[in-house]
Amino acid sequence: MVQSSVLGFPRMGKLRDLKKATEAYWADKLSKDELLAEGKRLRLEHWKIQKDAGVDIIPSNDFAYYDQVLDHIQMFNAIPERYSKHGLSTLDEYFAMGRGHQKDGIDVPSLEMVKWFDSNYHYVKPTLQDNQTFKLSDDPKPVRHFVEAKEAGIVTRPVILGPVSFLHLGKADRGQSVDPISLLENLLPVYEQLLKELKKAGAETVQIDEPVLVFDLPTKIRNAFKPAYEKLTAVQGSEGPQLVLATYFGDVVHNFDVIDSALKGTHALHVDLVRNPEQLDKVVEHLGEKQILSVGVVDGRNIWKNNMKRSIEVVESAVQKLGKERVIVATSSSLLHTPHTLESEQKLDSEVKDWFAFATEKAAEVAIIAKA
């Protein structure tokens, strides 16, 4: 049976609920507990939308109050001292890094925000020290959200940003000279601990995003994947969950040597077949003997209805090469970049409306293609 999966879901809510709630919190019109409750309500609503759409593999930890990379910065305790020294609550420290904090005698600007690849989304850039250490936070968010979904009767696949991408997308803090990738050895034990905690919580698989694999990478970054994934794949099975390594926003054909040397030990590999459907045959040739292929055939970046015939043909081609048990139908990337649902578009002409598919509709498309 071919399974279906979504790599991530928009977090704002049908009526931009999260935006309204965070802005109310910043204006002291909403309490911390009320904001956290609204976040929990939205997560549950979004998991149920995907479950009701028939999606087999539903993501968790794709929700963030501000930015998913910022979530990792805080979770790994990679917090510059100018934010940590003021005794702010965990939530206010988080927002201070994301948007700055000018209140109660504290005046700190935000960390740098830059474009997330070639999307319109911006992420908070990890900002690292020469003597940088990492420590996993107590009650880490990926574990907490996985358990939250499980308690609601929904089994999810947690999503985390991979260590090589986290470091490569970071920079040295002002006045520092550290090369971020040189910190990999210090960071990997935190990832190992996180994976083990997810396994203990019941997670069977984890989506680990390494989107920098679509870049033409410098040698030192290419070489970082092998030691990183030797360690992380070693905990798969009894100690840790199976790893689904996800790439998106481009193809991986120029990094097959990295896949061959470092990534064949992962449980599955996800590739973006919207950006480059022609890479399918070559990717199949470079898979491990039992490695599963997640085919991204529903566009996570646009607002248009899917060409179902074309997508089904791509999936059938993958199935012919690998068999149904080794193929997952997926969105090309997270659906973060699409609006929530067409249900909100009451003023659209019905004929025009029929051209569109937003996140809720795209989740259904993934499920339909997998069952075709």
What are the tokens at 224? 């970082």
Fold of 3-371: TIM Barrel (3.20.20)
What are the tokens at 355? 């051209």
Mean predicted confidence (pLDDT) in 79-95 = 97
- With 80 as the cut, is the pLDDT of residue 356 above it? yes
Convert the pLDDT of each residue in 30-66 to its tens digit. 999 999 999 999 999 999 999 999 999 999 999 999 9
Residue 366 — very low, low, confident or very high, per pLDDT cuts 50/70/90? Answer: very high
The residue extents of the domains of the chain are 3-371
Pick the more confident residue, 115 or 342. 115
pLDDT of residue 347: 72
Residue 15 — very low, low, confident or very high, per pLDDT cuts 50/70/90? Answer: very high
Strand 156-161 to 205-209 pairing: parallel
Residue 352 — very low, low, confident or very high, per pLDDT cuts 50/70/90? Answer: confident
Convert the pLDDT of each residue in 228-279 to its tens digit. 999 999 999 889 999 999 999 999 999 999 999 999 999 999 999 999 999 9
270 DSSP assignment: E
- With 80 as the cut, is the pLDDT of residue 346 above it? no
Residues 13 and 340: beta-carbon distance below 8 Å: yes
Residue 349 — very low, low, confident or very high, per pLDDT cuts 50/70/90? Answer: confident
DSSP track, 80-127: -HHHHTT---HHHHHHHHHH-EEETTEEEPPPPEEE-TTSS-EEEPPE
pTM of full prediction above 0.75: yes
- With 80 as the cut, is the pLDDT of residue 348 above it? no
| Closest-CA residue to 209 (of 170, 265, 165) | 165
| Location of structure tokens 């990492």 | 134
Pick the more confident residue, 94 or 343. 94
Residue 312 — very low, low, confident or very high, per pLDDT cuts 50/70/90? Answer: very high
- With 90 as the cut, is the pLDDT of residue 136 above it? yes
Query: Please, which contacts does 166-169 make with residues 24 or more away whose CB atoms are closer than 8 Å?
Result: 166/69, 166/72, 166/76, 166/126, 167/126, 167/128, 167/224, 168/212, 168/217, 168/221, 169/69, 169/123, 169/125, 169/126, 169/212
Mean pLDDT of the chain: 96
d(CA 12, CA 198): 25
Q: What is the CA radius of gyration of the chain?
A: 20
Helix runs in the chain, H state only: 17-26, 32-52, 68-75, 81-84, 90-99, 141-151, 163-168, 184-201, 219-234, 256-258, 280-285, 308-322, 350-353, 359-371
Residue 342 — very low, low, confident or very high, per pLDDT cuts 50/70/90? Answer: confident
d(CA 46, CA 235): 30
Mean predicted confidence (pLDDT) in 111-122 = 95
d(CA 63, CA 34): 17
d(CA 76, CA 62): 17
What share of the chain has pLDDT > 90, as a percent?
A: 95
Mean predicted confidence (pLDDT) in 144-163 = 99
pLDDT of residue 161: 99
